[in-house]
Chains A and B, each alone.
Chain A
Amino acid sequence: MNKLVKLFITSISAITLALVSFSSSFAKVEGDYIVLGSAISLTGKYSSNGVHTQNGYNMAVDRINKMGGVEVQGKKYKFEIIYYDDESNPKRAAQLAERLIKQDGVHYMLGPYSSGLTKAIAPVTEKYKIPMVEANGASRSLFTKGYKYLFAVLSPANQYLEVAIDLAVEKNGGKGVKIAQAFEQDAFSQDVRLGILDAAKRTGSEIIIDDKLPKELNDMAATLAKVKATKPDVLVVSGHTKGALTAIRQISEMKVDVPMLAMTHCDAAKLSKQHGKKSEYALCASQWHKNLSYKDKFFGSGKKYAKDFQKEFGYDPPYQSAESSAALLVFKDAFERANSFDRDAVRDALVDTEMQTFYGNIKFGPGGQNVAKPMILFQVRCKGDDCENRVVAPTKWASDKFYHPIPKWSERS
């Protein structure tokens, strides 16, 4: 009996102790720190972009903390982020979001990498009314669900390649063009496709090939043979990095001549590095480029950001890093305007966001998407074997002229 009582007392005290330590971590703001949470892909198939995202977040946290932090009610606070590895798995990401909110007491979230994972986390943050600023989920369906606590600093997926169709029509003297398109069957690529359908309708263009690429895509020879036979004015391909690399490999091998080739994920695929000259003239959609003329007081300009990032992490920042850094700037701005740590006050402040960052203008539409920043297009251009991405549209930021039409393979050296 005595033993049982002892056991009882021990377990009670253990539970109490656990509860005490549990509740002490139940604070969104600890001392001088505002704690943000993020589930991020550090392993698994998204790990490289996950790391780009994390580096972007970390860079901004360092910079904001160094430059005085966030001022709320006269007191200066610093940012701190709790990260968990979601293993590139949506289910795991949703679990981790729950854990961040319920166990770690996080009241403000930063997004994961990719549309799929953001989709998995958004219902959780919405349920607990946790404001989430995300920088890597572009799928249109994220912004049509009526989420009130989701804010995306990037342009939605359907805008990725619309500009390319406009450009093709412009080059065709305002007349509609013939479009061949091949998209992977995932949420993001299908959203890009919807954008093209809209643009085709708007410009009176005709879609002559509309292929859906399987997820385990590694061969698009059939699509390209059809392109060769039907001679469209534009070929549009979107299938993440694998799609971009496969397309360039097979277009060059099969000597497919199209006047214009538009794609997504060129910089993530390191297209110009992996395929060199073969990727020349490819037109690529991008959220950001370092040469754009946006400015802010934390990072200065895009060029300065790229330089600092290179110094810190040893590689040129892809747009995934830049947009992630921008997410922190948005949070800082919202906290200061809300002048409070009340979640709803912060959420309301986020709704009213209207600012310029080195990454671009940010203003959230009713669905939470950024409506103030256009997508840009760059074209791969080579000098000898050295290839780089040059901005060609929109004209306001174009550093180079858009090269059209793409020379035939027989004329390319």
Chain B
Amino acid sequence: MDFLIFKAPMLMVQASLDGILLGILFALIAYGMALQWGVMNIINIAQGDLVILGGYIAYTMYLAGIHPAWGVIVSPIIMFFVGWALYKLVINKVVDRDLFISILATFGIAIVFQQLMNFIFGADVVVAQSEYGTTMLFDNSVTLPNSKIFSAFISVLYAVALVIYMKKSKLGRAIRATAQNARAAKILGVDTEKVYAATFGINAALCGIAGALISITLTLHPYVGLPYTVRSFMIVIVAGLGNLPAVALSGMGLGLFEEFADYILGTEFRIGAVFMLLVFILVYRRFKLSKKREYLK
């Protein structure tokens, strides 16, 4: 236990801002997961690997001399088609089956993606440089990398755009209808096959954006996808499906919780604390549910 953070208020500000900025980025990944989980009832274990692949697209641009920030436009376009192709090749065969089959299938995809990325980009850890500099607050005692601010801003931008798109566009309405009741949507003339493919593509595109942002804020490596999957899974569990404000809030909350756990319990318990929180939330939910059931009796 270390209570340094309570003695230095500036550390508190620093931790909060770091946590929120990172949380927004995680929320973007989680939103993609919630979307396709809600629509297709698929838990995508390969989510994190899609993120990393998106990151490598931005990194490749960086190597070619293009500023990696353009990755937030190029990467989702490429990743949309990757997602679409993935749906046509694998996911459409498991979409109606039970959850376990889809977990196995996406787990397989994750392994294939990891090996492919290792084969193409090598096993080295890489970073792309944005050269965005740093914002100093409170007489230089709180520092915020501009790349993190940029990534949070872009995440919010895309999330808002997506919400509007889902509300206003024809495809968006079709996606929402399919999520509510796939059979009814089909009867009413929605091409659910196309909706599924588009949903998976949109999810992959969101991962692409997040990946491009991660390439300039954190590090890339073919095998670091899993933590992103786990985090987004957790955010979705807490927030529930198909509720963007809740996903955003739970993302930020998780980011904050992680940072504070890091300061108080120590870095080694950072991930452990998040898992503890997950267990706590699951138990609490069960407890609440069981109470309700008693009433029903």
Contact = CB atoms under 8 A, between A and B. Distances in A.
B181 interface: no
Interface of A: 43-49, 88, 182, 185, 211-214, 216, 218-223, 225-226, 228-230, 240-242, 245-246, 249-250, 253-255, 269-270, 274-276
Given A47-B118, A228-B141, A245-B125, 8 more contacts: A214-B271, A229-B8, A230-B4, A241-B125, A253-B147, A269-B124, A270-B124, A276-B129
Given A214-B271, A253-B145, A245 B127 contact: yes
Given A225-B14, A226-B4, A242-B125, A218 B219 contact: yes
The 7 closest A-B pairs by CB, nearest first: A253-B145, A212-B268, A222-B262, A216-B227, A211-B267, A47-B123, A218-B218
A173 B282 CA distance: 56
Given A218-B224, A245-B219, A246-B218, A211 B127 contact: no
Contacts of A221: 14, 18, 259
B115 interface: yes
Interface of B: 4, 8, 10-11, 14-15, 18, 22, 115, 118-119, 122-127, 129, 134, 136, 140-141, 143, 145, 147-148, 218-219, 221-224, 226-227, 259, 262-263, 266-268, 270-271
Contacts of A220: 267
A393 to B, nearest CB: 26
Contact of A225 (B15, B134, B147): B15
Given A47-B122, A222-B262, A274-B127, A254 B271 contact: no
Contacts of B141: 228
A211 B266 contact: yes
B64 to A, nearest CB: 16
19 contacts: A45-B221, A47-B122, A182-B267, A212-B268, A216-B271, A218-B218, A223-B262, A226-B4, A226-B11, A228-B141, A229-B8, A229-B10, A241-B124, A245-B125, A254-B143, A255-B140, A255-B143, A274-B126, A276-B129
A44 B15 CA distance: 35
A254 B127 contact: no
A101 B118 CA distance: 30
Nearest to A242: B125
Given A214-B268, A253-B145, A254-B143, A246 B219 contact: yes
B227 A45 contact: no
A212 B266 contact: yes
A112 B201 CA distance: 41
A92 to B, nearest CB: 14
B123 A185 contact: no
Nearest to B226: A216
B248 to A, nearest CB: 20
A45 B267 contact: no
B127 A275 contact: yes
Nearest to B216: A249
A254 B145 contact: yes
A241 B223 CA distance: 13
B189 to A, nearest CB: 46
Contacts of A211: 266-268
Contacts of B126: 245, 274
B143 A214 contact: no
Given A48-B123, A225-B14, A219 B22 contact: yes
Q: Which interface residue of B8, B15, B259, B267 has the most chain A CB atoms within 10 A?
A: B267
A249 B263 contact: no
B131 to A, nearest CB: 10
A241 B219 CA distance: 10
A218 B148 CA distance: 13
A222 B259 contact: yes
A212 B267 contact: yes
Contact of B267 (A43, A49, A213): A213
A214 B267 contact: yes
Contacts of A275: 127, 129
A242 B220 CA distance: 9
B263 A222 contact: yes
B147 A229 contact: no
Contacts of A240: 125
B261 to A, nearest CB: 9
A386 to B, nearest CB: 16
B4 A229 contact: yes
B268 A44 contact: no
A225 B270 contact: no
Contacts of A274: 126-127
A407 to B, nearest CB: 16
A266 to B, nearest CB: 12
